[in-house]
Structure 1
Amino acid sequence: MSVLRVAAAAYPVDFHPGWAAYEAKVTAWVADAAGRGARLLVFPEYASLELISLLPPELHHDILALRPALQAFLPEFLALHARLARQHGVGLVAGSFPVAQGGGYVNRAYVFGPNGAQHWQDKLLMTRFEAEEWQIDPGTGVRVFELPLTGEEALRFGVAVCYDSEFPTLARQLAEGGAEVLVVPSFTSARAGYTRVRVGSLARALENQFYAVHAPLIADAAWTYAVEEAVGRASVYAPADHGLPETGIVAEGEWNTPGWLVTDLDLELIRRVREDGHVLNWRDRHAGQTRPGPAEVVPLGVAVYG
């Protein structure tokens, strides 16, 4: 099965009156994407934070206090996503969750298999907002997930949570582990932040000659400082080469418009480009890393003014 249908969510933050409303929303979203044939579904970074609406109002703007309070919802959150992945037979990257870990908190993206099996990828590099205000700790290590497709075939993919996509080493480790798709869930409060993640994802797709699937959070939620505003558009990126778009953009949704972006990824195109593309970034990765030595500073003489 060389064609994989993926769904990237431009997911809106809503205020929910209770758990049942949240469960109904997520259930409907998953059913929609699965009903359109998607085998891998990706929710954005911190999509779970609409659960803040279920907390007492005095916690809605208290960044540090809401972290432990959210832990009460984690078991039900995990059970819901495991059930939906199993019910629809899909791979599912849930909206990341601030999880209590080792005396602190990590930003964890849970990944579910079509049998409901639960795994995760923690964000490794914290933005200033997370480090200085949320006091979220970096996770450790990267994982490559194998999503069963047909027969003995499986897709290998990795997760780079938002800011992680802006650093080449993390994605390179995933590619070395066999990943052919990089999943990028993001939460960015301004267009500049979205652009940084977009450019990073495009660069990672180019360097590693694989697909990148970008799922952004959408929010206009003055009721909580945590995700007060979030912008973006769901997109899928690829290296600009044989059979792939010359812009590097396979598909994209409308700006700040909630919904699924459902796209078919031809994995054979990626494999062919790695073997016989116009350029061979993947083949040349070691030379690109080792050939440049330390930068030499070369004086160009004394300035001459007019």
Structure 2
Amino acid sequence: TPNEKYWWDIRGGDELHTIPTDCGLIGVLICYDTEFPETARYLVDQGAVIIFVPFCTDERQGYLRVRYCSQAIAVQNQCFVVMSGTVGNLPDVENMDINYAESCILTPCDFPFARDGIAATTPPNTETIAFADLQLENLYASRNAGTVLNLKDRRFDLYNVQWNQKNKK
């Protein structure tokens, strides 16, 4: 974010990869990355079924930007999204003095998932754990025969995203 550039001289990375796990391929988008839809689509196109979103926001409006973008990622890419945020205060750390978070686990808004696409959530600003039993079989079934088929119905004849070749390994 512009704030992180200013306070800590943080710059965006040059690569984006999926990570193999015993639950399938996963991806990681850190906070602000969720606000760029191409990043999630790239991970899903590489096989990601769960995208993890660690985030640090200092107020509710910043949190809601990340939350709404993460919910859109789950719907548009028919994947699970796990958001994990920082809570509490760090008064002696520049740009980290206050935190706002509601961690959650998001799903596509389709059968057999939760109607609102929220498998689990935590109370605001509470140190706790959100957990849910995510069934990958349901995700694959939804991608193949769900109410909507976002991944299958994309119009490559009208649009596509071009990726820098140095990111393709």
Report the TM-score when normalising by structure 1: 0.50
* Secondary structure in structure 2 of the residue aligned to 1:259: coil
> Structure 2 vs 1, CA of residues 289 and 222 (structure 1 numbering), >3 Å: closer, same or farther?
farther
Quick one: which of 112, 135, 155 aligns to 1:266?
A: 135
- One-letter code aligned to 1:133: W
- The counterpart of 2:8, out of the listed 119, 134, 137, is 134
> Would you say how many aligned residue pairs link Structure 1 and Structure 2?
160
What is the aligned partner in structure 2 of residue 171 from structure 1?
Answer: 40
Question: 1:159-210: CA deviations, max 9, x gaps?
Answer: 0000001111111110011000000000000000000000010001111100
Indicate the residue corresponding to 2:166 in structure 1: none
- Cα distance 1:206–1:140, how it changes in 2: closer, same or farther (>3 A)? same
Tell me the equivalent position of 1:219: 88
Contact preservation (8 Å) 2:102, 2:125 = yes
- Ranked by relative contact order (alpha carbons within 8 Å, sequence separation 6 or more), the top structure is 1
Task: Name the residue aligned to 1:196.
Answer: 65
RMSD between aligned residues? 1.6
1:262-286, Cα deviation, whole Å (9 max, x unpaired): 2211111111110011111111234
The reply to whether residue 159 of structure 1 matches residue 39 of structure 2 is no
Structure 2 residue identity aligned to 1:214: M
Query: Using a 3 Å threshold, how does the CA distance of structure 1 residues 205 and 267 change in structure 2: closer, same or farther?
Result: same
Q: Which ranges in structure 2 are unaligned for 5 or more consecutive residues?
A: 161-169
* Closer, same or farther: CA 204–288 of 1 in aligned 2, 3 Å: farther
* Mapped contact 2:7–2:95 kept (Cα < 8 A): no
Q: Which residue of 2 aligns with 1:240?
A: 109
Pairing 1:186–2:55 present: yes
From 118, 123, 136, the equivalent of 1:254 is 123
Task: Output the CA distance in 1 between the equivalents of 2:49 and 2:86.
Answer: 24
Q: Is the 8 A contact 1:166 1:200 kept in 2?
A: yes
Rg bigger for which structure?
A: 1
Corresponding position: 1:280 with 2:149: yes
Q: Structure 1: any 5+ residue segments left out of the alignment?
A: 1-126, 149-153, 292-306
Structure with a larger share of its residues in helix: 1
Overall identity of the aligned pairs, in % = 32
